[in-house]
Structure 1
Amino acid sequence: MSDITVGAYLLRRLRELNIEHLFGVPGDYNLGFLDQVLDSPGQTWVGNCNELDAAYAADGYARLRGAAALVTTFGVGELSAVNGVAGSYAESVPVVAVTGMPATAVAAAGGWVHHTLMDGEYDHFGRMFAEVTVDRATLSAASAADLAAAPAQIDRVLRAMLRHSKPVHLNLPTDVVLARVPAPDGPLIAAGVEEATEPALLRAFLDDSARLLDGARTVTVLAGHEAERYGQREPLGELLAAAPVRAAVFSSGKGVVDETAPGFAGVYTGEFSQKAARAAVEDADCLILVGALATDSVTGGFSHHFTAGRTIDLRPYGASVGRAGYDGVRMADAVAGLTGLLREAGLPEPAGYGRPAGCGRPAEYGRSAGYGRPAGEAVTRTAAEPESLTQRQLWASIEAFLPPRSVFLAEQGTSFFGGQEVPLPADGRFVGQPMWGSIGYTLPAALGTQLAAPDRRSVLVIGDGSLQLTAQELGTMTRYGASPVIVVINNDGYTVERAIHGATASYNDIAAWDYTALPAAFGGGDRAVAVRAETPAQLADALALAARTPDKLVLIEAVLSRDDAPELLTALAGRFAAQNDYGA
């Protein structure tokens, strides 16, 4: 059996996971590993402007590829990335965080070297990562036995990442990187290695489910983010095709089911949902939850209404039917079994089944003002319509523009609450961060999604306040040939925070930037174009330009009033204000 370096062993395993790009920032403790990244066939180093941005980019990449890798240096680098890794943990995104650390002997001696806390302790930062990862390992060259264990440690950690769909952490000392170990003698994940649900347990779950479905005339599937993370996109499509059932999604699971298919009722946000989504979820005789965690931000501040006695709830490795629990039932097995039950159930077609996609759009996004027109088609303004661009016009134009198979990213805040109601095109994807909600996330994430799926145009809508946190990654995008469309909502500050509290407070103000100057300032050159839109017609022209330039980064500064907000945000802001209890 041939020998390879530990670094090459890790890279080979990452290639098995379809990881072709590694994100991060160089530091002297990871440079030896980065040498091997540069020499690794089919893999590309993506140098970000800082480690937090690299973690965000890896998160976006993993949502399209199924896994991602982040590389930082010890202490200062890894701690800069920990917020991004925490977001991946909260949102169940599989990312391996690789930290280049001082040599084994240096750490064992407790040397007071740079990037440490000068106390001789080398596991401070690993313990911090333990809180936001599901497994971690510090590789060692202290003895031949320690080194021989490195491949098994790498494999164990990566398998934990895949099983739990959450981040993991590997400390890679400088002297371990080049040490030689046997090359892998088999695949990381062998066919059939994932244990199926114990047959008797699965049968009991399905028998109980069949009793709940018996006599049900209306069935609705409500999907969340775990359905996407655990590979249930295609199986859910098969389930929904097996019988005339309704489908809705939490905003966290938007895009996991086909929004153009018959029966799609929209995004469910508790009492703030549009009528079709609320009726489909709350009035169903049987509600099937698939990876749908009912968090405050996706349920309208816990305003959802599920009757436990009529609910089948599927989680990655457990399920319930009514109040009966079935720990150990795998989501994949449960979805497959329920598909068979529904195929045999003979459900009647519910009223309104098969109406056009987009039934869940907000009422204010009406067809007037060019809603759904072809991208670039001029907007005809009525006499009563204001010349200035409004939220209603913005989201109507975005819906009209989204190309088939595109990746639509919506930044947390104003952008997310408007974007979650925009119907996706055929085979579209949606990326947001409603549960962790770290502002600035989606700009680097768009770098990750565009590199992960270059055949899909990434379209990002982000607020001006959020953009200012991570704007420098515009330079990274053009450096690596990424060509997303970025719509910057310039509404003079943190409109989402103003809606919740401090409408006129100075802490919700931001500096006034020249947003159209940013691509050039960050080195975009002829690989980027930037325009400003203050009216519906100008926005239509800008999006038409974006459609004509698929090989360029296109930044559109959309100027809106600071007080104009999507209807959903306005409604939810009151709920969040009451929840925070700041008083008058």
Structure 2
Amino acid sequence: MTKKTSIGNYLFTRLQEMGIGHIFGVPGDFTLQMLDQIDEVDGLNFVGNCNELNSAYAADGYARLNRISAMITTYGVGDLSALCGVAGACAENVPMVFISGAPPLYAMEGRLRIHHSLAEGNFDNVMNSVREFTVAQTRLTPANAAFEIDRILKICWIERQPVFIQIPSNISHLLIDAPQGPLDLSIPQSDSESLESALALVLKHLQLAERPAVLIDMDVDRTGYTDALVRLVEKYKIPYASFRSGKAILSEASPLFAGIYNGAASEPQVREIIEQSDCLFVTAPSFVEASTLQFIDQMPAETVVSIRGHSSTIGGEVFEGVMAGELISRLADSIEERPEPSVAVQDQTVQPVGVEASRSLTQSRFWPIMGNFFEEGDVILAENGTSNIALTGVKLPEGVSYLSQMVWGAIGYTLPALLGTIMARPERRQILFIGDGSFQLTAQELSTILREGLKPIIFLINNRGYTIERYIQGMKATYNDVANWDYTALMKVFAPEMEAFTASVKTEGELASVLEQCVKQDCASFIEVHLDPFDAPEPLKIFGPKTAELDYGSRRGPRK
């Protein structure tokens, strides 16, 4: 059965069916009729951003808590401005529907010279650029719109990757015959024989193992089998650790949580549990840097169970067409419950830091103090640099969602991503840590957060520049300095009519007082934290020289 509907209405209705309530973007002349059509769909709203890069970052953050997102840009200038953010979503398996309002269909087919293009009649170059960072692409026409919309959206849902839809500006209001039923979002089932064989083999390995362990990366969350994995580790009492890019996907408050695995830089307990395991479940590892991969290469193949979205490798044997969630769920159903883990995990509870009121803030004490501030259910965003590196080692409460961009690593990502995460989960307390250098890249999106009446707690780490880069190269070089803005004044600059709580702290006593005050506020909070430019978390002091060696080689030029 089909019904008459407009192309734009059909697309936006499908997005709403998928659970998308907000579409991020920047208006452009090729998108304006489409933006009017968003209002026709109940429960769907357009959120205008300050620029297209921020739109992509906001959509990325939204999808990480909502499972999928969407954004709209205008052809050429808008598309390519957003592309860095789309590439980040591609690198980190974030499903995003990237919609582009393109020139009218007759202009593209007639190769007319038109604005926002290179004025030579080529309308494939933008599509070709975006193609490199999306898993599927289409240009809609009245003839293909219904089929192509459903095809592209289902690929996005299944593959957990960005997709690209070009809509010529003169067709979004045209009526088409479209299916009446809801979009089929079912995930393909495993090949039955492969699943049964894989299950039997992994059960055999697990039952013979004396030291089973699980190592988690981000795709556990992206592909939606977190709950099944929780059932498995809790029922069979399997200790687990996570890569930095998989932090807090499984509870860090559990007695089974060993810590963060980061190759040779890991804590001794974590290395022992993971590297001496005789049945190690590695769930969709991204292996951001080579050091975390080395131990896997050295382990006997029969001890490793590598589980990815659509395939598994068990004891060196590859099983294609085995869905990760289905295998983990069946495994949890099949095993018998164990009373206690075979390997004890040492208690990692950190004693609260006693605040010394007159003591200047330092990296070594600021982050443990903040660890005591976090609560169950918080959403914590950590910008690349000192914030993410320091918070990696902070054990988080139950139910915390932790967002960072470990693979793509674009600085400035987290502020617009915060807009997306709050739009996705407004009922949860949301806390951002961002350095001054990163903040300056995307600062204007703070105005959108305030315009929308949102109430995050933002900690601006003011250490006068790029501390992480200082520890790689140029400790005192001017290229690692940034202008010292009056950061707290920006709240009034961006939203002069809005109430906001602001503070600037330099001592532990000032920080303690401000933390006590900000939790009582019913408004956005912006807290500037002053730290020494040459102070750094201990892991960063190790990370910097190792990165320099990776980037420049052991015979690099002199470090300044």
TM-score range, shorter chain: over 0.9
Q: State the partner residue of 1:518.
A: 490
Kindly indicate whether residue 501 of structure 2 is the aligned counterpart of residue 529 of structure 1. Answer: yes
- 1:163 maps to which of 155, 158, 162: 158
Amino acid at match of 1:557: E
Q: State the partner residue of 2:28.
A: 27
Shift of the alpha carbon at 1:368?
Answer: 5.8
Structure 2 residue ranges without an equivalent (≥5): none
Task: Give distance in 2, aligned partners of 1:174 and 1:136.
Answer: 17
Please tell me whether the aligned partners of residues 301 and 575 of structure 1 are also in contact (alpha carbons under 8 angstroms): no
Task: Give distance in 1, aligned partners of 2:429 and 2:340.
Answer: 39
Q: State the partner residue of 2:242.
A: 249
Q: State the partner residue of 1:426.
A: 398
Q: State the partner residue of 2:389.
A: 417
Q: State the partner residue of 2:417.
A: 445
The 1:396/1:547 distance shift into structure 2, 3 A limit, reads same
Kindly indicate whether residue 353 of structure 2 is the aligned counterpart of residue 369 of structure 1. Answer: yes
Amino acid at match of 2:211: T
Q: State the partner residue of 1:185.
A: 180
Per-residue deviation, residues 330-359 of structure 1 (Å, max 9, x unmatched): 111221133235x33858523534x55x55
The 1:51/1:115 distance shift into structure 2, 3 A limit, reads same
Q: State the partner residue of 1:213.
A: 206
Task: Give distance in 2, aligned partners of 1:85 and 1:34.
Answer: 21
Task: Give distance in 2, aligned partners of 1:35 and 1:195.
Answer: 35
Task: Give distance in 1, aligned partners of 2:496 and 2:206.
Answer: 57
Task: Give distance in 2, aligned partners of 1:440 and 1:30.
Answer: 26
Identity of aligned residues (%): 37
Hey, which bits of structure 1, 4+ residues long, moved more than 4 A? 299-306, 345-348
Kindly indicate whether residue 4 of structure 2 is the aligned counterpart of residue 11 of structure 1. Answer: no
Shift of the alpha carbon at 1:553?
Answer: 1.4
Q: State the partner residue of 2:137.
A: 136
Amino acid at match of 1:261: S
- 2:526 maps to which of 543, 555, 575: 555
Which is worse superposed, 529-538 or 50-59? 529-538
Q: State the partner residue of 1:143.
A: none
Task: Give distance in 2, aligned partners of 1:404 and 1:542.
Answer: 20
The 1:198/1:21 distance shift into structure 2, 3 A limit, reads same
Please tell me whether the aligned partners of residues 412 and 439 of structure 1 are also in contact (alpha carbons under 8 angstroms): yes
Q: State the partner residue of 2:336.
A: 344
**RMSD, matched Cα:** 1.8
Which is worse superposed, 408-417 or 322-331? 322-331
Amino acid at match of 1:555: F
Q: State the partner residue of 1:567.
A: 538
Kindly indicate whether residue 432 of structure 2 is the aligned counterpart of residue 460 of structure 1. Answer: yes
Aligned 1:90-489 pairs, distance under 5 A:
90-140=91-141, 147-189=142-184, 193-296=186-289, 307=299, 308-341=301-334, 343-344=335-336, 346=338, 349-353=341-345, 356=347, 358=348, 367=351, 369-370=353-354, 379-380=355-356, 387-489=359-461
Please tell me whether the aligned partners of residues 412 and 434 of structure 1 are also in contact (alpha carbons under 8 angstroms): yes
Shift of the alpha carbon at 1:510?
Answer: 0.7
Which is worse superposed, 288-297 or 310-319? 288-297
Q: State the partner residue of 2:41.
A: 40
Per-residue deviation, residues 441-490 of structure 1 (Å, max 9, x unmatched): 00000110011000111111111100000011110001112211111110
The 1:310/1:85 distance shift into structure 2, 3 A limit, reads same
Please tell me whether the aligned partners of residues 478 and 527 of structure 1 are also in contact (alpha carbons under 8 angstroms): no
Per-residue deviation, residues 183-228 of structure 1 (Å, max 9, x unmatched): 44212125xx433111211122122223322321121111101110
Task: Give distance in 2, aligned partners of 1:520 and 1:154.
Answer: 43
Please tell me whether the aligned partners of residues 301 and 572 of structure 1 are also in contact (alpha carbons under 8 angstroms): no
Task: Please give the secondary structure, in 2, of the residue aligned with 1:486.
Answer: strand
Q: State the partner residue of 1:65.
A: 66
Task: Please give the secondary structure, in 1, of the residue aligned with 2:29.
Answer: coil
Task: Give distance in 2, aligned partners of 1:306 and 1:246.
Answer: 21
Please tell me whether the aligned partners of residues 353 and 369 of structure 2 are also in contact (alpha carbons under 8 angstroms): no
Task: Give distance in 2, aligned partners of 1:401 and 1:201.
Answer: 47
Please tell me whether the aligned partners of residues 381 and 414 of structure 2 are also in contact (alpha carbons under 8 angstroms): yes
Task: Give distance in 1, aligned partners of 2:384 and 2:455.
Answer: 22
The 1:541/1:255 distance shift into structure 2, 3 A limit, reads same
Amino acid at match of 1:178: H
Shift of the alpha carbon at 1:525?
Answer: 3.6
Aligned 1:484-499 pairs, distance under 5 A:
484-499=456-471
The 1:276/1:482 distance shift into structure 2, 3 A limit, reads farther
The 1:59/1:415 distance shift into structure 2, 3 A limit, reads same
The 1:507/1:291 distance shift into structure 2, 3 A limit, reads same
Task: Give distance in 1, aligned partners of 2:351 and 2:337.
Answer: 38
Amino acid at match of 1:419: L
Task: Give distance in 1, aligned partners of 2:352 and 2:66.
Answer: 38
Task: Give distance in 2, aligned partners of 1:217 and 1:583.
Answer: 49
Amino acid at match of 2:281: I
Shift of the alpha carbon at 1:575?
Answer: 1.4
Q: State the partner residue of 1:375.
A: none
Amino acid at match of 2:540: L
Task: Please give the secondary structure, in 2, of the residue aligned with 1:548.
Answer: coil
Amino acid at match of 2:391: G
Task: Please give the secondary structure, in 1, of the residue aligned with 2:65.
Answer: helix
Shift of the alpha carbon at 1:435?
Answer: 0.3
Task: Give distance in 1, aligned partners of 2:222 and 2:285.
Answer: 11
Please tell me whether the aligned partners of residues 217 and 348 of structure 1 are also in contact (alpha carbons under 8 angstroms): no
Amino acid at match of 1:45: F
Task: Give distance in 2, aligned partners of 1:22 and 1:197.
Answer: 33
Kindly indicate whether residue 513 of structure 2 is the aligned counterpart of residue 541 of structure 1. Answer: yes
Please tell me whether the aligned partners of residues 295 and 302 of structure 1 are also in contact (alpha carbons under 8 angstroms): no
Please tell me whether the aligned partners of residues 209 and 279 of structure 2 are also in contact (alpha carbons under 8 angstroms): yes
Please tell me whether the aligned partners of residues 235 and 337 of structure 2 are also in contact (alpha carbons under 8 angstroms): no
Task: Give distance in 2, aligned partners of 1:210 and 1:300.
Answer: 26
Which is worse superposed, 306-315 or 460-469? 306-315
Please tell me whether the aligned partners of residues 364 and 538 of structure 2 are also in contact (alpha carbons under 8 angstroms): no
Number of aligned positions between the proteins: 553
Task: Give distance in 1, aligned partners of 2:307 and 2:339.
Answer: 21
Amino acid at match of 1:407: V
Please tell me whether the aligned partners of residues 227 and 292 of structure 1 are also in contact (alpha carbons under 8 angstroms): no
Please tell me whether the aligned partners of residues 239 and 341 of structure 2 are also in contact (alpha carbons under 8 angstroms): no
